[in-house]
Amino acid sequence: MRNLIFFLYKYYTFLLFFSLELFSFVILYQYNNYQRASFLNYTGAVASGFYQTVNNTTNYFSLRNINDSLMAENARLRAQMLNAYYQSGFTQTSINDTVYKQQYDYIPANVVNNSITKRNNYITIDKGSLAGIKSDMGVIGSNGVVGIVTSVSDHYATIRSALNSNTKISCMLKKNNAFGSLEWNGDDPKFSSLKYVNKHVPLTLNDEVVTSNYSTLFPEGISVGKVYSHSLDAGDNFHLIKVELFTDFATLKSVYVIRNILKDEQKQLEGALKSDN
């Protein structure tokens, strides 16, 4: 009690001033329409700003869910594209009937680890065997080829990036279907090399490079990059082609893992042929 009396005695001047100010403000607000309107406008603006900040913060933390939903929708749309299907055609009497059956589907995933500065770079994604991912599956991003799945756990998978000296991806020139092998030399993450394109194949700068139909990992026609430069040394049988990659590996955030529904059937058949040789 004595402390309370001491406190009031010590600060009574300030408390009196504050009380009178508050009383004056109440009178001003109660009996003056202009000041009341100004006060309401001010408090409304403050409240609006506060709620806007809260809304922006909520939206920011919702972006992950929104992104996951968009990726799932993109995967569904990719699975409906024509290059995800194969033609099942048959002839009976004089009737030709072509049926399109799905060969590829896509599993969306987010990148949780990535390297681009090493000679052999790898990527880790947040989906694994529980999502249907297996080793030796092709991986693409929104702009093109990313790499190949190498190992899988329940919830994660590692990808051997296209920026890896051990990665070889069957590709071709879109304009004439001349095929070659995309191989990285370990120098610049923005470029790779297209090898084994015959010297008789005509080339021009900016020719688009896409995946070929010789791979079980990727559908035919997935974007890879464009011809940045090319040369042919005397006596060589193949062009030296530098490819500018469409995928920006430094900013890669999300990918799609490709599941080839007919892959095992093709591998089994080809394996039987190899055993005869």
Domain positions in the chain are: 2-72, 105-275
More confident residue, 47 or 157: 157
Taking alpha carbons only, the member of 139, 106, 108, 103 closest to residue 122 is: 139
Per residue in 74-109, pLDDT tens? 666 665 554 554 444 433 333 444 445 678 999 999
As a whole number of Å, the end-to-end CA separation of the chain is: 104
More confident residue, 31 or 202: 202
**The three-state (H, E, C) secondary structure of the chain, written as one string:** CHHHHHHHHHHHHHHHHHHHHHHHHHHHHHHCHHHHHHHHHHHHHHHHHHHHHHHHHHHHHHHHHHHHHHHHHHHHHHHCCHHHEEEEEEEECCEEEEEEEECEEEEEEEEEEECCCCCEEEEEECCCHHHCCCCCCEEECCCCEEEEEEEECCCCEEEEEEEECCCEEEEEECCCCCEEEEECCCCCCCEEEEECCECCCCCCCCCEEEECCCCCCCCCCCEEEEEEEEECCCCCCECEEEEEECCCHHHCCEEEEEEECCHHHHHHHHHHHHHCC
**Residue 249, pLDDT above cutoff 70:** yes
What is the structure's pLDDT at 271?
Answer: 77
Q: Is the per-residue pLDDT at 25 higher than 70?
A: no
- Average pLDDT estimate for 189-204: 95
Structure confidence at residue 13 (pLDDT): 77
> 185-195 pLDDT, tens per residue?
999 999 999 99
* Mean per-residue pLDDT, 128-152: 95
Structural tokens at position 61: 């933390």
Contact 176, 185 (CB under 8 A): no
Tens digit of each residue's pLDDT (9 = 90 or more) over 51-60: 456 545 655 5
Domain 105-275 has CATH 2.40.10.340: yes
**Hey, what are 39's tokens?**
């006060």
Q: Is the whole-model pTM more than 0.75?
A: no
- Quick one: pLDDT at residue 267? 80
User: Which pLDDT belongs to residue 265?
Assistant: 84
Q: What pLDDT was estimated at residue 126?
A: 93
